[in-house]
Structure 1
């Protein structure tokens, strides 16, 4: 009995060894065949099918560049000259690289088409004959590369008077200390069911984006990712409480124009409440008093940021849809679109979507801010009394601006009679 058991154990060991040897042999043969097939493929070049796909891609990209005069703008939402410079910047700064199968230009075209037309992955897959995984991988890679240009093409407002204010007698010298405008906008969002309630506001399920811009439609600060249910002032408080360079810059004595959703306080001047404000409310009517005149000119200047939002969403249609991406990617999409907006203004100021605005400020390279000592520190806590006093001071400043406007207006149009109704 024992001998039979020993024989059985020995036979089991032999069978296991033979099985393992056979498995190793199969693996070796498989590896050798694959290496032979790869060498053969290298010697013989790409297959007919691969060459056909490559020709189709080249023809598709050529049609974008060399088709109708507006083919490039229609497909990637910028003109060919701006696109060529963007590709050159990406390549020269090692933000994107040509891979063995896909160039920097193709990576950018796929991504810009998705941003500009909210194109689905399967559509881009069909246009470029790429796998869905390839399209998705390069979309995320290009997004991060664009965001890396943020420090170069999105600088916070300098401590200077914008030329658009200096050159307009309706604004200067009254708004001589204005460095920009701020406002919030809502971008449709897609979220897991457990987060939907937090992001649901009066405009549906959205992310609330705070932005600041200059009168020439350049974004100077963008804070994205807040819940759509959050009010604008709460988001502004968050932007101000962040340490530099991540917080919104406010210089001592300077201010941003904002709408009635924000209070008048140090660094921010809102319109008079209870007085007609929007430009359409003033249509065909003349100002009857200093408050109406102030609100009219305040609205005229602050409307620049509303126009900027309109231009941004008109160019990048993905901001008007519910993108099917994880929420962090949705936030990155907003940031990337605003950086691209600034890039296009900088390198192609005659772009038709910008209404032919003239760009007077050169922001083609990074410049350090020299006036940081004048920044207002909003991280210091104030008592309720101190907050009230500082807000009253800025309301008085608003009154002084309104009175100066009214006196000059009456001198010009009312024979110097400053009576108000």
Structure 2
């Protein structure tokens, strides 16, 4: 009998405890509900109003301060910035929350990208919590990645205007659709991964990019170890299935019109890619004060001149977005997203505001060209199909012969224009 009474006491105590807990929860909920109702009736506190006024004044200074205030703060002019905010709203990629507008979300993110600003600096300037700054920074990065398809399309299968209008390049490079190169961006990684990413330029991620002569990125592959060779990354880009791989077009084999990219000596001449002659002067500075002495030097000079466009593009990118020149304190996947976001923003600015001061003055691009769809998948080289060693060697020899023919055509034209038809070469060709 005593055991029965003891069990009843336990049950009674448990029920009483549960009832007390429910009463506390209900009471707390009612108190918070009443506090919220009072807040709604009384309006924002003086502290909240002061913060909102301070933020509004900051946004106003960005828009209406000095003539270059917007350019300095968000790394683009006010017209491009407002169009970007409108685009984000229109595509429902970003939206105004109860306390923070799309413009403020973009301003925070673009300032971090453009000035490698720390989270605590944004907290101070915008009077936001560190969690809010971090949350919207990542949200904006994802939104920018969603417009990549609109502002970063692979190179079209046509002669770029910069080649077509330059007699030094046309018709010799008439089948060139762009340039490829790699660039290193500082990376922060766990100690267990540092060795993999440490290369001759420190701990970095190696970024492969392709661009057109008018300095627009057409393909970007980020996230590779800094120790990886450029050619290895190119192989990865070519082996990826559509639409993630780098696209190279085929043409009429009888006319030898296969399209190609220009690349430096870190790559090899192969189907779709033409590198310079090795062991021959190449860099533009090496030709200062002297003229080409043979066809290979002339080819390398013009190859270097055209391929310098991608170096200039990297320079513009890193000049605008200083976060690419610093050690980023973010998880590595976010570091990769940062690189992609910066390249997309570069293309966006070049498209909507070609007069931007950081772009080359001769840059001339029609927005409609970028928006065109490329429906030529049937004429894209298939690099995913395995080849035998003999087939690979034969295809490389074929493209080396093509390079030789381009060099000969250049030399003949050059001698006709500037040497009274004298085609003699003053240095032996190795």
* Counterpart residue number, 2:159: 161
* Counterpart residue number, 2:124: 126
* 2:274 is the alignment partner of 1:276: no
Distance in 1 between residues matched to 2:368 and 2:239, nearest whole Å: 27
Contact 2:153/2:370 (8 A) holds in 1: no
Contact 2:160/2:213 (8 A) holds in 1: yes
What is the TM-score normalised by the length of structure 1? Answer: 0.97
Query: Compared with structure 1, are the counterparts of its residues 257 and 408 closer, same or farther at alpha carbon in structure 2 (3 Å cutoff)?
Result: same
1:344-355 matched pairs, under 5 angstroms: 344-355=349-360
Equivalent residue in structure 2 for 1:405, among 402, 410, 426: 410
Query: Compared with structure 1, are the counterparts of its residues 376 and 40 closer, same or farther at alpha carbon in structure 2 (3 Å cutoff)?
Result: same
Contact 2:264/2:275 (8 A) holds in 1: yes
Equivalent residue in structure 1 for 2:337, among 321, 332, 335: 332
Distance in 1 between residues matched to 2:383 and 2:415, nearest whole Å: 39
Where do 5+ consecutive residues of structure 2 fail to align? Answer: 251-257
Equivalent residue in structure 2 for 1:24, among 22, 28, 31: 22
Contact 1:152/1:363 (8 A) holds in 2: no
- CA-to-partner distance for each residue in 1:208-265, whole Å, 9 max, x for gaps? 0000000000000000011111100000000000111111010111100000001011
Distance in 2 between residues matched to 1:109 and 1:142, nearest whole Å: 10
How far did 1:26 drift?
1.6
Distance in 2 between residues matched to 1:272 and 1:362, nearest whole Å: 36
How far did 1:367 drift?
3.1
SS of the residue corresponding to residue 180 of structure 2 reads strand
SS of the residue corresponding to residue 89 of structure 1 reads helix
* Counterpart residue number, 2:249: 251
1:286-365 matched pairs, under 5 angstroms: 286-363=291-368
Equivalent residue in structure 2 for 1:380, among 382, 385, 393: 385
* 2:399 is the alignment partner of 1:394: yes
Q: Which moved more, 1:205-214 or 1:5-14?
A: 5-14
Contact 1:199/1:207 (8 A) holds in 2: yes
Query: Compared with structure 1, are the counterparts of its residues 12 and 386 closer, same or farther at alpha carbon in structure 2 (3 Å cutoff)?
Result: closer
Q: Which moved more, 1:259-268 or 1:10-19?
A: 10-19
CA RMSD of aligned residues (A): 1.2
- CA-to-partner distance for each residue in 1:65-102, whole Å, 9 max, x for gaps? 11111111111000000000000000001010111111
How far did 1:28 drift?
1.3
Equivalent residue in structure 2 for 1:15, among 10, 13, 16: 13
Distance in 1 between residues matched to 2:102 and 2:167, nearest whole Å: 47
Where do 5+ consecutive residues of structure 1 fail to align? Answer: none
- CA-to-partner distance for each residue in 1:332-390, whole Å, 9 max, x for gaps? 00000000000000000000000223323434774321222211111111111111111
How far did 1:19 drift?
2.7
What is the TM-score normalised by the length of structure 2? Answer: 0.95
* Counterpart residue number, 1:93: 91
Distance in 1 between residues matched to 2:18 and 2:333, nearest whole Å: 48
Contact 1:217/1:304 (8 A) holds in 2: yes
* Counterpart residue number, 1:50: 48
Distance in 1 between residues matched to 2:231 and 2:302, nearest whole Å: 22
1:134-283 matched pairs, under 5 angstroms: 134-252=132-250, 253-283=258-288
Distance in 1 between residues matched to 2:351 and 2:148, nearest whole Å: 13
User: How many residues of Structure 1 are paired with residues of Structure 2 in the alignment?
Assistant: 419
Distance in 2 between residues matched to 1:89 and 1:134, nearest whole Å: 22
Query: Compared with structure 1, are the counterparts of its residues 37 and 249 closer, same or farther at alpha carbon in structure 2 (3 Å cutoff)?
Result: same
Distance in 2 between residues matched to 1:40 and 1:159, nearest whole Å: 65
